[in-house]
Chain A
Amino acid sequence: MTDPAGIVTAATRAESLSAELPAGRSTGWWGMVMFVATEATLFACLLGSYYYLRFQYGPQWPPPGIEAPSLLKPLVMTAVLLPSSLPMLWAEHGIRRGQRWRLRSGLAATMLLGITFLALQATEYAEKLRQFTMTTDAYGSLFYLITGFHGLHVLIGLTMIGWLLAASLRGGSFGAHRHDRVRNAAIYWHFVDAVWAAILFTIYLTPRL
């Protein structure tokens, strides 16, 4: 019997017969989760440094000469960034069923929201830079380091999403059984979102408490 495409051989391999495919968590999944764990620790150290300097500094925070941050724009930014995880989830569930259109449109929606967030952050910076810079005092250094570092993470996340989008426009890159990369990028994006909530609380809300 001829088996030109190797289909019979493939179908009778032990793992094809023994288990549902693909079984278990992939190495890529664990790798991304560990990477996110170490990144999360980095943000924890950043926010910890903020609180340390704040409470060592004295009663008035931000230091004299800098106003307490206004809330309107950061809340709008939050309203843009946090929901951006939803189209990502939708896209991921779509590609698991092999629906490439859902992958593409979900990724595009997330990307749009992410870019909007960065644009808003740029206007926020333009406003703040008139008031204080990274070299004004420790508050300024912390403000720009923490928000800037998070912004960089959003940018990296967007690069990953843009890369996925470019790959998905080519046939044969992703499918119902080939979506490890989508899932990994999604984990990273959800992380970038969640960290923003902690930054909003630390930088914008706690000075008003």
Chain B
Amino acid sequence: MPTTTPSPAVSPADLARLTEHWAEPPSLRAWFSTVDHKRIGRRYLVTAGFFFALAGLSALAMRTQLARPEAGVVSPQEYNQLFTMHGTAMIFLFATPMLFGFGNFLVPLMIGSRDMAFPRLNAFGYWVFLFAGLFMWSSLPFGAAPNNGWFAYAPLTGEQNTPGLHMDVYALGLLFLGISTTAGAINFIVTALKLRAPGMSLNRVPLFVWAIVATAFMVIFALPALNLDNAMLFLDRRFDTHFFDPSAGGNVLLWQHLFWIFGHPDVYIIVMPALGIVSAVLPAFTRRGVVGYPLVVLAIVAIAIISFGVWVHHMFATGLPQLSYSFFSAASTIITIPSGLQIFAWLATMLLGRLVLKVPLLFVIGFIVTFVLGGFTGTMFALTAFDQQVTDSYFVVAHFHYVLIGGAVFPMLAGIYYWLPKITGRMYGERLGRWAFWLIFTGMHVTFFPMHLYGLFGMPRRVYTYRSEPGWDGWNLVSTVGSYLLAVGLLLVLVGVVHAVRRGKPAPPDPWSGDSLEWSTQSPPEPYNFPVLPRVHSLHPTWDERTAESTGPGASADRVLSEGRRTLLTSELDAHRERAVEMPESSLQPLLLAGALLLFFTSMLLAWYPVAAVAVLVVVVTIAVWLWPPRRPDRELGVTA
């Protein structure tokens, strides 16, 4: 049953004050200066969706080229750029930002806060993401896009082997984007540690929030390896250093080690928050909490840790010592245990619950089927002998598309349908959604299942064409047909979303009778999220009467906090109330800073070093002004200064 409109506990005067402090009257300036986590989250979702469309169109171009042997739709040079941008954009510009978009919108709502811990840093992170994405994509029309594959192995990426700007765009673009990802990760951790509503001790934190926080910790410890790798690559290419140059004491495998020290945790950085979406969607459509909450939390934490010990399974064909193969083989096998545990927890939830078969649940079921198939081929790679047979064949392409489409895209689509009413305030059309699901599910399997086969038949990945003799043509045509089905399905999702926004019927606050706190706010939520900051009494606060009562009549002024733009800080573990804090207001500085960084990276790319120096100066001055302490007398009560 939907919760009622504005809490009777809050007087109209308080509501007016809250609106005055939190609302941003529509204007051009407000559009550029907003720090509202909901607007920023929406922008992340839309921008990541846009990059997804670009990367998806690149894939369609490739599938068209591969539909028949020796086709000439694109040239080999163009094909190289297409598959590199497809992979790079899907991993870095779509998957993580899309999930960060969900996180941005949902984490403060789920933990009962009024914003993220660092709202301006949040806005800055978004602008950097947007600019870095445009920076990378804008190289494609110039024919200067990255062209060595998304993992950019040395020595192919060296200046001699790949002249031109291609890999400079890659290295600088990812370094630029890394700033956004790191800032976002720190923001999620601090928000989840300090801004939870009173009473939301760690054992009452929603699984989605756990997943986002575990992801953020992985980002903190994994991303530096990628950043360093790209810095070295850029130095090697532009300034003639020798990190990856064996003729002068360097080593090409250094690139691979650093890349996969980042890269394997990154698989979980992508999949983990998506699994969090699954855990958030299931309770509403099975009418019960996820089975084995403590075990699922432990599995999330265990995966986050073990994921740092499996990177060499991407390097089983590089001739490392046998002993290291054994270790990484074992670790790769062990990590399937916590992953399997989560799957069984969801299956048990569905088995014990009452299923409500709506579109979000369809996508969750599609996720389980597809992801388990991908995980199954994944455990096959943990066996070194098998891995060496199929390395760099289409079998690998099949495997990771099962994992990433199954493990990330399906949950995201479930999330889009599930939270669309909350995000836009409108309901989607169920019929169109079902059509979209079946087209996507069928299209996905028709595209990628045959890749297992022609991978085993010996077709290598990343070839721009093939001859008819090996007999791969039929299966390739099947894949191409499937990819068009998949594209039509995804188009229907877009049509559904646009239709809902334009014509959808208004959504009630809680259309699914969900269990987490975002469903106790308006659809879409007010700028201040909660008129009364709730007091949480259980793991399923919206299903729990005492929590609902805490926002009802009798809420004290210290949980309304209407004098100023304020929210509550609580203690890290037990969420005991600590104090109310003033939150920053909207500002143009984040945009300015991101713009200065864009100038810096562009001028580095084009070797305009004096301009880069000026950009650094602008960056330093902007940060200094941003953080300049306001002048206030040091007057606190009870203590003399």
- With contacts A24-B578, A139-B249 known, is A49 near B239, CB below 8 A? no
Pull 30 A–B residue pairs with CB atoms less than 8 Å apart, ordered by A.
Answer: A14-B556, A14-B558, A15-B558, A21-B579, A21-B638, A24-B572, A30-B190, A30-B193, A31-B118, A31-B190, A34-B186, A34-B189, A39-B224, A41-B221, A45-B225, A49-B254, A53-B251, A57-B251, A98-B640, A134-B240, A135-B239, A135-B241, A138-B250, A141-B235, A141-B241, A141-B242, A141-B250, A145-B241, A163-B627, A175-B641
Q: What mask results when residues 1 to 42 of chain A are scored 1 for a CB within 8 Å of chain B, else 0? A: 000000000110111101101111111001100110111011
The docked-state distance in angstroms from the alpha carbon of A10 to that of B187 is 30
A171 proximal to B (CB < 8 A): yes
* Residues of the A chain whose Cβ atoms lie less than 8 Å from the Cβ of B253: 56
Residue of B nearest to A163 (CB): B624
* Residues of the B chain whose Cβ atoms lie less than 8 Å from the Cβ of A14: 556-558
* Residues of the A chain whose Cβ atoms lie less than 8 Å from the Cβ of B620: 159
Q: Would you give the shortest CB distance from B28 to chain A, in whole angstroms? A: 30
CB distance B242 to A138 under 8 Å? yes
The docked-state distance in angstroms from the alpha carbon of A10 to that of B628 is 25
B182 proximal to A (CB < 8 A): yes
Interface size class on chain A is: 35 or more
A46 proximal to B (CB < 8 A): yes
* Residues of the A chain whose Cβ atoms lie less than 8 Å from the Cβ of B571: 24
A130 proximal to B (CB < 8 A): no
Partner of A27, one of B117, B182, B640: B117
Q: Would you give the shortest CB distance from B224 to chain A, in whole angstroms? A: 4
Q: What 4 new A-B contacts, CB under 8 Å, besides A16-B637, A171-B631, A172-B632?
A: A38-B220, A52-B251, A56-B253, A138-B251
The docked-state distance in angstroms from the alpha carbon of A45 to that of B245 is 18
CB distance B641 to A167 under 8 Å? no
Q: What mask results when residues 215 to 240 of chain B are scored 1 for a CB within 8 Å of chain A, else 0? A: 00000110111011001100100011
* Residues of the A chain whose Cβ atoms lie less than 8 Å from the Cβ of B235: 134, 141, 145
Interface size class on chain B is: 35 or more
CB distance B242 to A135 under 8 Å? yes
* Residues of the B chain whose Cβ atoms lie less than 8 Å from the Cβ of A178: 629, 632, 634
A74 proximal to B (CB < 8 A): no
B469 proximal to A (CB < 8 A): no
Q: Which residues of chain A have a CB within 8 Å of any CB of chain B?
A: 10-11, 13-16, 18-19, 21-27, 30-31, 34-35, 37-39, 41-42, 44-46, 49, 52-53, 56-57, 63, 98, 134-142, 145, 159, 163, 167, 170-178, 181
The docked-state distance in angstroms from the alpha carbon of A61 to that of B22 is 61
* Residues of the A chain whose Cβ atoms lie less than 8 Å from the Cβ of B167: none
- With contacts A42-B228, A49-B228, A49-B243 known, is A176 near B634, CB below 8 A? yes
* Residues of the A chain whose Cβ atoms lie less than 8 Å from the Cβ of B232: 49, 145
The docked-state distance in angstroms from the alpha carbon of A134 to that of B628 is 37
